[in-house]
Structure 1
Amino acid sequence: MSDTLPKSMRERRNGLSRAASLWLLGAILIAFSAAASAPTPLYALYRETWGFSPALLSVVFSIYAGGLLLTLLVCGSLSDHIGRRPVIAAALALEVLAMAVFLRAESVEALIVARLLQGCATGLATSVLGAALLDFDRERGPLLNSVTPMLGLALGALGSSALMQFSGEPLHRVFLVLLGIFALFALVLARLPESISRQPGAWASLRPRVRIPPQARRAFWRIAPLNASLWALGGFYLSLGPTLARQVTGLQAPLVGGTLVFLLTSCGALGIFAMRNSEAQVILRRGSLALVTGLLLTLIGVDCGLAWLFFLGTAVAGLGFGGGFLGALRSVVPLAHAHERGGLMAGFYVLSYLAFSLPAVAAGIATQHVGLVVTTNAYACVLLLAAVMVLLSGSRSNRSPAASVG
């Protein structure tokens, strides 16, 4: 549980129970993640329809991350001061507006505006929903914070590609569905109890900065290399993964790219469930090992043109993605007090989305000069190096107590 839930929450008679509140918060976070991955299978169709360059596609991808990061830096701690519900309501309103722009988009400029709005909405939602989940349950909060984005990314990519393949309106149907979902959540939100009391300093909290509590900084920077490599992997798959899948398999069906992203993220959710009862250090070690193994198998599959090995490697890397993400969260979030959680979650996701966006944009530019396969090899080698560094540092820290005793 959170340190001290406010009196207003305890006395709220017509509101949701704690269990129902957890379900609602988790469902909203899943929806935001699903909306984030929904455009991924559509990028190829957007390019065919509007005829813009791969470089402009990189702008579309990066503008989302840019809006998200800016919002996290400015508003990441706002909910620690004015409460969780007002910030969640603002995020839902922005996301509804973004879905409406997607529905009406008829040019790449409109697509850029929609992704920018969506990035700002997701930036607002990410830190406040993560903090609210911890408010209601400190034990299950880290688990829900790690598994719900994976499930959302999986459902968004697969659902969007399925609608794209079988729907008569591939560029609109998915956003109409998502708009209805977010509008429904906005209505239900009125029954969510407020989980913290208001604190002074709301205007001062808007000054852009990363707020990591002092007691959590050492753990935060220790898991930073692995966390960055995990999110860089996710960024690559959500930007260039569908194109790579079509090249390796030789199939042009939209479901191929959506299935690849679904495989990575659903295996991530599976890895979280499989390791949820282990200690943070054990999860980090196993996640790193699975990531290294999966990347090696994926590279062999890409270079040898073996589609089955490519997908197998993606599944194993997905297990590492989920396990490593859970281990990283469990290493840092219990160290923050109730009114520090919004800032900590914002800082955590600033690092995560920097790693998610910048390497993927660089990879998109590199493919125009050296090709997709060479770029994939170089990209994976950097991620392998980061994961191996974490494994080696974990081995040294495990041996250090014995050495000091001896």
Structure 2
Amino acid sequence: MPALLLLASLTVSMLASSGAPTPLYAIYQQRWGFTPITTTIIFGIYAITVLVALLVFGRLSDYTGRRPVLLAAIAVQAASLVVFATAGGVGDLIAARVIQGISAGAALGAIGAGMLDIDRERGALANALTPGMGTGTGVLLSSLAVQFLPAPTRLIYLVLLGVLTAQAIGVLLLRETVTRAPGALRSLVPDVSLPAATRGPMLAAAPVVFAVWALAGLMAALGPELVHALTGSASVLAGGADVTLMTVAAIVATFTLRNTAATTVMLTGIGALIGGSAIVLAALGTGSAAVLFLGTAVSGFGFGAGFQGGIRTVVPAAKPHERAGVLSLLFVLSYLGMGGPVVIAGYAVVHGQGLVGAAREYAIGLIVLAVFALAALARTSRTRRVRAA
């Protein structure tokens, strides 16, 4: 159990590090004079780097063991935090995001597979809980630092650096759960193929996972600015509250639905995503920040349910030596959903639509994605029933 908690906490700190810059972008914009599209490009570069790292390093821990990959990923993440803490311009932010993306991409599959090695049921729950928990923690701590503490653009990264150092010591003491096997270098060649047993489940889960992570991308990149636009407040804490609310709702969904059938959980996630996006549209039409927060909470519940349902649909079909690779491909889908649409939204903000207009189109797009995911899930479930009969 302590080993599972350590690995879960490592996912939290890794993704807290990726969420920490979100409340700080307004400060960076004031200092260096860049536009919202630059913010979304920085965010998109991070997502793309994570994708590449997942494809290159995602299966490595199945051959070398979990610990070596995790220790290397922690060291790279620490380097990114140093770059953030000493950043002097947009170029430094981009460099830090690239380094951070390499670390996260290498670590996510190894951490997730390690938790499943230790305890299959609790590990699956932890895999679903920790991404939202990590992002929300990073945004909340960073917002509090900006609001109440000195030197927030340095302090939050130094605190996270201290946490990662302590976790590295814990990883050194972990018992290895994978026997080394030949093929480590060959595993670095990107491979998007799936074990046969996981292809059907992945086909059912993929549209849902993509859709719910597209929501996460919107909230992480543009959520604070949207809150500022509707409230008229420049409070960083208010802006960060929207992202934190989404992740809290996701955690609640993951925990309360943990014993529900995976397909039902995914259907719940789709329904909440559609309902939450519709409420966000109403908020944008009325200019109500309170309605926006309600829509965020409902959508966040959908994020937690949809992602948990996807993990619980796909991962149980993978064998132990396949887990890191399968989880990495799930995260590839996640970061495709997070990174691609939000860059398009950033372009729309700057070129004609404005922030509210771009958010409105994004919310409509989320509803369309969710409806498509619902149709795909129904079709896949029907095919599986026919084959079973």
TM-score by length of structure 2 reads 0.96
Residue 103 of structure 1: which of 85, 89, 92 is its match? Answer: 85
The range that moved more, 368-377 or 71-80, is 368-377
Asked if residue 241 in structure 1 is aligned to residue 241 in structure 2, the reply is no
Asked if residue 306 in structure 1 is aligned to residue 288 in structure 2, the reply is yes
Asked if residue 341 in structure 1 is aligned to residue 317 in structure 2, the reply is no
Q: Deviations over 1:332-372 (max 9, x none)?
A: 00010011111101111111101110110111011112112
Residue 368 of structure 2 is matched in structure 1 by 385
Contact 2:204 2:377 in 1 (8 A): no
Contact 2:211 2:369 in 1 (8 A): yes
TM-score by length of structure 1 reads 0.92
Asked if residue 275 in structure 1 is aligned to residue 257 in structure 2, the reply is yes
Q: Which amino acid aligns with 2:369?
A: A
Q: CA deviation at 1:49?
A: 0.9
Residue 372 of structure 1: which of 355, 368, 377 is its match? Answer: 355
Residue 259 of structure 1 is matched in structure 2 by 241
The range that moved more, 103-112 or 338-347, is 103-112
Contact 2:35 2:350 in 1 (8 A): no
Contact 1:231 1:353 in 2 (8 A): yes
Asked if residue 21 in structure 1 is aligned to residue 37 in structure 2, the reply is no
Q: Which runs of no fewer than 5 residues in structure 1 stay unpaired? A: 1-18
Q: Deviations over 1:215-263 (max 9, x none)?
A: 1012112221111110111011100111011111111100111100000
Cα RMSD (Å)? 1.8
Q: Which amino acid aligns with 1:223?
A: A
Asked if residue 142 in structure 1 is aligned to residue 124 in structure 2, the reply is yes
Percent identity of paired positions between Structure 1 and Structure 2: 41
Distance 1:119 1:399, change over 3 A: closer
Asked if residue 36 in structure 1 is aligned to residue 14 in structure 2, the reply is no
Residue 268 of structure 2: which of 275, 286, 289 is its match? Answer: 286
What is the rounded CA distance, in whole Å, between the counterparts of 1:364 and 1:154 in structure 2? Answer: 22
What is the rounded CA distance, in whole Å, between the counterparts of 1:266 and 1:238 in structure 2? Answer: 14
Residue 113 of structure 1: which of 95, 99, 122 is its match? Answer: 95
Residue 332 of structure 1 is matched in structure 2 by 314
Contact 1:210 1:346 in 2 (8 A): no
Q: Deviations over 1:3-40 (max 9, x none)?
A: xxxxxxxxxxxxxxxx1110100011111111111000
Residue 301 of structure 2 is matched in structure 1 by 319
Residue 73 of structure 2 is matched in structure 1 by 91
What is the rounded CA distance, in whole Å, between the counterparts of 1:402 and 1:206 in structure 2? Answer: 37
Distance 1:281 1:365, change over 3 A: same
Give SS of 1:194's match: coil
Q: Which runs of no fewer than 5 residues in structure 2 stay unpaired? A: none
What is the rounded CA distance, in whole Å, between the counterparts of 1:281 and 1:401 in structure 2? Answer: 12
Q: CA deviation at 1:304?
A: 0.7
Q: CA deviation at 1:389?
A: 2.9
Which structure's CA Rg is the greater one?
1
Q: CA deviation at 1:264?
A: 0.4
What is the rounded CA distance, in whole Å, between the counterparts of 1:82 and 1:65 in structure 2? Answer: 25
Give SS of 2:121's match: coil
